[in-house]
Amino acid sequence: MDRNIIHQQFLNRFGGAEGSFYMAPGRINLIGEHTDYNGGFVFPGAVSQGIMAEVRPNGTRWVRAYAIDLKHYCEFDIDDDQGPESVHFRYIYGVVRLLMANGVKVEGFDAVYAGDVPIAAGMSSSAALECCFGMALNDLFQGNLDRMQLALIGQAAEHNFVGVKCGIMDQFISMHGRAGSLVCLDCRSGEFEYLPWRPKDYRLVLINSCVKHELVGSPYNDRRNSCERVAQTLGIESLRDCNWDMLNKVKEKVSEEDYMRARYVVGEVDRVMEVKAALQRDDYETVGQQMYLTHEGLSKDYEVSCEEIDFLVDEARRHGVTGSRIMGGGFGGCTINLVRNEIYDSFVTEVPLAFKEKFGVECQVIPVVIGDGAKKLFKI
């Protein structure tokens, strides 16, 4: 993300005075996948990659926005009930409309933005986009909404304007991230705790399979529906409240597929707690074992992995990596790997070679740096 490049484009397109700059990050998630919409716990951290935007009110009712990376320009009237067709700009339109619905007096604005979160890699580039604009417009139009309200607006934009029934994890962490810390969030109560992430002997690294995951109109919503059906059959609010006994009893009453989905979630809710306890005693080996178990569940029961990702996890295991699993919504994207320092270099050198040999395409190594949540950037 280069502020000068953004500003140059801004000047070329719109001229005039400098706008204000905002950024919001993507995220990693140590463990707790597909637990957020089941009322469970998640363990994310913001990353140093994100979306940066220069924004300036333009005194009209029109939004004019240019996405540098996509080379897409879009204009829309904020009072128009339909909004733009392009999915990408619907994230921004959704945020604008929901801010207005929440009483923020949004007016027209010009914006240029760019990012370095890989798109469709499971690192939440869409949440970064929603949160960047939520942050910017709330600030520029004196909305006084707090970070949690802005996160909920981002999530609702995704539900109502894009059609992905996502949980709250991505927008929450994009708003609440803190450099050097992971956050354990209870997605039901909204309570959260920062936990410093400072393993001496280990590092986190992502390997992006570059298989594009597309959550829009995808089986993501089907997974959520399965979970809700099982919870409903059990007469509980969400699978967070389901234990193994309850799950056994409901087995005959739900489809085999719904049962498998629920079995994964019940296990994952427990694993997050195991990991939290393990982290408190610096027991990274247990953290890693739980990550592998998560992957097994996501691959076999939740069925959100793919051949390329399973290969990356197998390779990690073969190299003696402490923990590895698919990260995020699934259907491609990245693995997250907890790697001991002494094998780090060989792992990140050899796995891409093996991947290239097997699939004929490159994967991408992304070292993890835990960064801050959304913010306004001030003049230096």
Q: Which residues bind ligand GLA (CB under 6 A)?
A: 33-34, 36-37, 124, 166-167, 169-170, 328-329
**Which DSSP string do the residues of 286-301 spell out, in sequence order?**
HHHHHHHHHHHIIIII
- Give the 3-state secondary structure percentages of the chain, helix then strand then coil, rounded to 5: 45, 20, 35
Tell me the closest approach of the beta carbon of residue 277 to ligand GLA, in angstroms.
21
CA–CA separation, 321 vs 315, rounded Å?
9
For the chain, report the end-to-end CA distance as a whole number of angstroms.
16
If we measure between CA atoms, which residue out of 226, 166, 206 comes closest to residue 309?
206
Among residues 36, 170, 258, 301, the one annotated as catalytic is 170
Tell me the closest approach of the beta carbon of residue 87 to ligand GLA, in angstroms.
15
* C-beta separation of 261 from 283 below 8 A: no
Tell me the closest approach of the beta carbon of residue 171 to ligand GLA, in angstroms.
8
Tell me the closest approach of the beta carbon of residue 169 to ligand GLA, in angstroms.
5
Say how many C-beta atoms besides its own lie within 10 A of residue 3's C-beta. 14
Has 170 been annotated as catalytic? yes
Q: Indicate the residue among 297 and 328 with the shorter CB distance to ligand GLA.
A: 328
Q: Indicate the residue among 4 and 189 with the shorter CB distance to ligand GLA.
A: 189
Q: Indicate the residue among 166 and 183 with the shorter CB distance to ligand GLA.
A: 166
Tell me the closest approach of the beta carbon of residue 218 to ligand GLA, in angstroms.
10
Which pair of structure tokens corresponds to residue 118? 């890989």
Size (the chain), residues: 380
Q: Indicate the residue among 52 and 169 with the shorter CB distance to ligand GLA.
A: 169
Q: What are phi and psi of 282, to 5 degrees?
A: 55, 35
Q: Indicate the residue among 26 and 143 with the shorter CB distance to ligand GLA.
A: 26
Strand partners, 54: 21, 112
Say how many C-beta atoms besides its own lie within 10 A of residue 17's C-beta. 7
Tell me the closest approach of the beta carbon of residue 141 to ligand GLA, in angstroms.
26
Q: Indicate the residue among 94 and 328 with the shorter CB distance to ligand GLA.
A: 328
CA–CA separation, 230 vs 239, rounded Å?
8
CA dihedral 196, 328, 84, 78 (to 10 degrees): -30
Alpha carbon of residue 47 to chain centroid? 10
- Residues designated as active site: 170
